[in-house]
Amino acid sequence: MRIELVDIHKHFGPVRANDGVSLTLEPGAIHGLLGENGAGKTTLMKCLSGYLSPDRGAILADGQPLSFASPAEALRHGIGMLHQDPLDFPQMRVLDNFLLAFDHRFFPDRRRGKALLQELGTRFQFNLDPDAEVMSLTVGERQQLEMLRLLALGAQVIILDEPTTGISAPQKAQLFATLRRLAEEEGRSIVFVSHKLEEVEELCHRVTVLRHGKVTGEAEAPFQVNRLVEMMFGRSLPPTERVPVTPGPPVLEVEGLVVPSYQLTVEGVNLCVRAGEVVGLAGLEGSGQRLFLRACAGLERTAAGCIRVGGRDLTGAPYRRFLEAGVAYLPAGRLEEGLVGGLTLAEHFALAERRGPFFLNWAAARERAAAHIGRFNIVGRPDTPVEALSGGNQQRAMLALLPSRLNVLLMEHPTRGLDVESSNWVWEQLLARRAEGTAILFISADLDEILERSDRVVVFCGGRMSAPLEACRTTVEQLGYLIAGKDVGCEAGNVRRETEVG
């Protein structure tokens, strides 16, 4: 199917999310849609996949006009979208989530559905247990489940919105291999929505760049990266610089920590983090780093060991006690855990005022929200519901809601789904806190980010934590070895390669 988007307009009040966008998707090709956060990429693809209706413009399939009233109707025309945040039911099993896509009977044919799930899984090397609960899957596995649902429904145009956010390197390699096969061998059209230049360069045949709701340019592979950056941001971006900081006294001390869970137990963790220090946590998803981080915030039960913050023993204390001690936690799931869907920005700032009066002062809350919107460059207004914000603006909102003074900041994927400029801005805010003495521990699937931003790095593998490594004396390849569970030699807290890798 050849898809044409012609002069698409979509406005949300005064915000022109799409302002006359036109592009063509050819069958058998992977088309990259590139742009900074808030450029209009997701809105455009929601118009194509039936989640939104354009205010003006036309969608053509092989020259024939199409109009969708719902995503289900778009799928009946062969167009499906895999969203950045998986749309599934975590409390249900894999097979039940799969069947919900196409078998709407009160008693679905589970045997037939299981056979189809296993057939598609084998064909594309997605090894999912039909009886596993979705909440036990990694983000990458949940994406694989959604991909199999789209294929079962016969999607010929598959849209992937930031699909590599929060998935491991092996899962990304497997995803890219699947997308190439779908395009080159089966003739499907793939739309790869991203802000990551290196991924677009590696995968896509053609790219369209959006900025402020308009098309700023198109390019064919091979791409000139500097030109793509200029089309995205209107200018080139300076390289990041590491600013040395002398760490202060210990603010977080963990000794002999054991954190049990039904999937994995983190055990024997010892770590001392000093004021003003940045520690990166690396490892495949599900290796224990998230359990450890949540335990350090009082969000996971510990079975042994102790956690001290500023010299105070908080082992077993609830999150409220950790928050009072100057510890804050920013989760990866912005709408699931970090923000409250259905509430506006002003309502969030009202809730964040923990020591306010019994009755809320809505005028003050709106004023406070407006001030933070300006300071943190959030594209929205005090009365904007948080679910209407882009992923990057939701991240900015979560940062704006943090207490002004913190001893320890714990973060999962702080730049997840953000473009280069937004990522640099986030780290400017974090490093400003670091300069004030805040210790930062963060998880990231981007090993380059971990090495660029951290003072020290620890690697989790199978619930075990490596000895801390000095980031400036460690390479991505060395981290890769440790993540895979291979000992590459440690000396004085630094990884030392025993052999050269060609």
**pLDDT above 90 covers what percent of the chain?**
42
Residue 85 included in any domain: yes
Distance CA 1, CA 312 (A): 63
pLDDT in tens, 443-493: 988 888 898 899 999 999 888 999 999 998 888 888 877 887 765 443 333
pLDDT band at 354 (very low <50, low <70, confident <90, very high): low
Average pLDDT, the chain: 86
Our count of domains for the chain comes to 3
**Average of pLDDT values for 135-163?**
87
Distance CA 209, CA 34 (A): 5
CB-CB contact of 133 with 96 (8 Å): no
Assess whether pLDDT exceeds 70 at residue 22.
yes
Residue 336 included in any domain: no
pLDDT recorded at residue 459: 92
CB-CB contact of 352 with 369 (8 Å): no
Distance CA 26, CA 383 (A): 40
Total-model pTM: 0.67
Distance CA 391, CA 442 (A): 18
pLDDT band at 258 (very low <50, low <70, confident <90, very high): very high
Distance CA 409, CA 165 (A): 21
**pLDDT above 70 covers what percent of the chain?**
92
Distance CA 429, CA 400 (A): 10
Neighbours of 381 (CB within 10 A): 17
**Average of pLDDT values for 339-350?**
90
Can you tell me whether residue 422 is helix, strand or coil?
helix
pLDDT recorded at residue 498: 32
Same domain, 83 and 199: yes
CB-CB contact of 48 with 59 (8 Å): yes
Same domain, 295 and 439: yes
Same domain, 50 and 102: yes
Selection from 54-63, 232-241, 374-383 with the highest mean pLDDT: 54-63
CB-CB contact of 192 with 179 (8 Å): yes
Same domain, 180 and 195: yes
pLDDT band at 166 (very low <50, low <70, confident <90, very high): low
Same domain, 122 and 27: yes
pLDDT in tens, 265-285: 999 899 999 999 999 999 877
pLDDT recorded at residue 84: 77
Same domain, 169 and 300: no
